Amino acid sequence: MVRTILGVVMLSAILMSTGEAQVAESLNLMPLPAKVQLGNGRLPIDPSFSVTIAGHKEPRLDGVVLLFLGQLRRQTGMPPIDMKVTDSPSATLVIQCAAGTRNVQELGEDESYRLEVGNSGARLSAPTTLGVMRGLQTFLQLVQMTGQGFAAPAVTIEDSPRFPWRGLMIDVGRHFIPLEVLKRNLDGMAVVKLNVFHWHLSENQGFRVESKKFPKLHEMGSDGLYYTQDEVRDLIAYAHGRGIRVVPEFDMPGHSTAWFAGYPELASAPGPYEIERKWGVFDPAMDPTREETYKFLDKFIGEMAGLFPDQFFHIGGDEVNGKQWDANPKIQAFMHTHGMKDNNDLQAYFNQRVQKIVSKHGKTMLGWDEILRPDLPSSIVIQSWRGPDSLSKAAKLGYRGLLSSGFYVDLMWSAERHYLAEPMSGAAANLSPEERQRILGGEACMWSEYVSPENIDSRIWPRTAAIAERLWSPQDLRDVNSMYRRLPEVSQRLEWLGLTHNSSYAVMLRRIAGTDDISALKVLADVIEPVKDYTREETAPAPATSASPLNRLVDAARPESAAARQFTASVDALLATGPRPETEAPLRAWLGRWRDNEVALEPLFAKSLLLNEVAPLSRNLSALGAAGLAALDYLDRGEHAPGAWAAQQLAVVEQAKKPQAQLLLMVVPAVEKLIRAGAGQTVSSPSASSLPPN
């Protein structure tokens, strides 16, 4: 099944020429379809819009169409009493579906579709309901405001995904994320054609599912913050209605302190245990040498295998530091008896035992890189946080794999960096066709040390839309500028659907400012980003815990500053051509605003502790604004600034490069270029440094 689809996709990728890619790009679609042919004219979308379902009918398809109409209404602001489903063959949109889908969505089910939009009607045909879902999302993205009202351009699209597994993982263990927040993120996933919600349900800091067999798991391991089994079923149904599989993860044998709060006998050292509050890798791990451990897991996995219908069951398996094993004489004796030379051997033994249990309950096991050992059956799937080389190694050994390295959205990387992460790169580029098919796709990962219901959307969106395009669209689409042009459009669509990545920003800034007037704070907040990778821990004034408020500017700041990106591009443009009024004026406006902003913001510092910590950033931005303006003056006059001036300004730049309050001023490199140019120094080429170094 998987093989066939991948074959089709690769063919499509070849069929799509560069010219077609440009055509497709003009349509603001994300992810871009495999094949797009623009026609002439447009289909007006007004309240008389109607849909008819021809061909195969099933209740699920009706639900899909109602959902579609709801989204079309929300997008256009049209009322719910028109825009309906009819039996008329002259409906605006005719859906022709060849067959239904399975009750439990499977890996590799056909998601392809063909969409033809003409001046008086549209036709969507697909082999399955899943394809209809994908095609309807494309149709929604085609609908745009025009001078004549809402309309979809005449177009013919043939589309199918490059990879069959396109996921988003959300870690609800470290911070609990309420059901309605997950639901709105599922809505977002459907928009960008992601099809797997990987639900990371247990962590040292929390066990989040009701277990009827082992109730102390959620009762003592969750602070009362868990999903009931009814809620789990509700979420799975919600996802199913959007063409999304739900894969549960219960991390073992490490990352499991929260299990031990209720069941200390599972651990490799005596309890009692409490829910972990700190972040990091901790000692507690399950005892792989006791048969009781497997009896427990057999019952537990049996219960969860019944609750979660998906074929795949994720056992985590990452980051066991082995300290409890080293310190336990019984475990050491067991290892000696069984000829295990190190903890890796012991964990491999554990994985083998767990794999048999998972398999006994009818599921296919999935785990992180660490589980990869040739003694496991080739049915298991490896999820790689290490990279394509690791995936490639697995594929050569006959294992299927998923890429998550490069897609960790908690690391605060730019959309560009995620977009260019490629499952088929590195060693994977040289795999045989058969081996390539073992690379199933990838997953964006939202680890949740620093997310709350309030800011999680802004960590996931819109950057995950770029990851979704990487996983759906042809491999040769790598035009970063095109991606950035289309990203705001999909971001706006996600906001329409109820995601809060934009609206929460203002709400959080108002709290930080301690006032409703956030104009000055926004000038600063718009050009900063949280520190990257894992430096938030390293630069923390005090270690954060799961009880730390996430209400600081670093929690509100966007992972990627669009303003800084635009400013940087404008500086590059100016330096490439020399100062011209039309390129210089906006730069001066920006720099002047920054220079003057400190005066506006400073009175607020004493009134808000949350704002006070960013005072140094504000002063740095002000200094950068003044320095940039002075540099432009030199450039305008065609003079070289004196060396002493440049040295002084570059000292300001060095100061401004340092993280403050775990935040980075993203306009520093561009201002540095202006200063160097003003001083007649060589400036690196735009192509090498047009973007902030993240």
Q: Which two tokens stand for residue 535?
A: 């430096």
First and final C-alpha spacing in the chain: 39
Task: Confirm or reject binding of residue 153 to a second copy (CB under 8 A).
Answer: no
550 binds a second copy (CB under 8 A): yes
CA 420 to each of CA 173, 385, 395, 471, 561: distance values in angstroms, whole numbers, following the listed order: 29, 16, 21, 11, 18
Is residue 82 near a second copy by the rule CB under 8 A? yes
Stretch binding a second copy (CB under 8 A), from 301-309, 361-369, 546-554, 666-674: 546-554
Closest residue by Cα to residue 78 from 68, 91, 69: 69
Cis peptide upstream of residue 272 (ω within 30 degrees of 0): yes
Q: Which of 310, 555, 560, 598 binds a second copy (CB under 8 A)?
A: 555
Q: Smallest distance from the beta carbon of 43 to a second copy, in angstroms?
A: 15
Around Cβ 540, how many Cβ atoms within 10 Å? 14
Question: Which of 19, 59, 147, 638 touches a second copy (CB under 8 A)?
Answer: 147
- Examine residue 353 and tell whether it contacts a second copy (CB under 8 A): no
| Choice between 85 and 650, CB closer to a second copy | 85
Q: How far apart are CB 454 and a second copy at their closest, in Å? A: 7
Residue 589 touching a second copy (CB under 8 A): no
Q: Which of 319, 454, 495, 584 is catalytic?
A: 319
Counting contacts by CB under 8 A, is residue 601 touching a second copy?
A: no
Q: Report in angstroms how near the CB of residue 450 gets to a second copy at its nearest.
A: 11
Say how far apart CA 441 and CA 185 lie, in whole Å: 20
Taking contact as CB under 8 A, which single stretch among the options 484-492, 613-621, 635-643, 646-654 is the one that binds a second copy?
484-492
Tell me the C-alpha distance between 173 and 447, whole Å.
9
Looking up tokens 């797009």 gives 36
Structure-block tokens of residue 210:
């009701």
Please state the three-class secondary structure of 333-381 as a single string.
Answer: HHHHHCCCCCHHHHHHHHHHHHHHHHHHCCCEEEEEHHHCCCCCCCCCE
165 binds a second copy (CB under 8 A): no
Which of 5, 51, 69, 78 binds a second copy (CB under 8 A)? It is: 78
492 touching a second copy, by CB under 8 A: yes
Residue 541 as a binder of a second copy (CB under 8 A): the answer is no
Q: Is 207:221 a contact under the CB 8 Å cutoff?
A: yes
Residue with tokens 């799961």: 546
For residue 39, give the 3-state DSSP assignment: strand
Is 311 near a second copy (CB under 8 A)?
no
Does residue 81 touch a second copy according to CB under 8 A? yes
From 52, 96, 144, 321, residue interacting with a second copy (rule: CB under 8 A): 144
- In angstroms, the CA 294 to CA 292 distance is 5
323 in contact with a second copy (CB under 8 A): no
Q: Characterise 474 by phi-psi region: left (phi > 0), alpha (psi -120 to 50), beta (else).
A: beta
Nearest-angstrom CA–CA distance, 694 and 686:
16
Cα–Cα distance, 84 to 117 (Å, whole number): 18
Q: Which is nearer to a second copy, 109 or 210 (CB)?
A: 210
Of 19, 40, 59, 79, which one interacts with a second copy (CB under 8 A)? 79
Q: 454 an active-site residue?
A: no
Q: Decide: is 228 part of the binding site for a second copy (CB under 8 A).
A: no
Residue ranges that bind a second copy, judged by CB under 8 A: 47, 74-82, 144-149, 175-176, 223, 225, 452, 454, 488-489, 491-492, 495-496, 500, 502-503, 506-508, 510-512, 514, 516, 546-551, 555, 605-610, 612
The catalytic site residues sit at 319
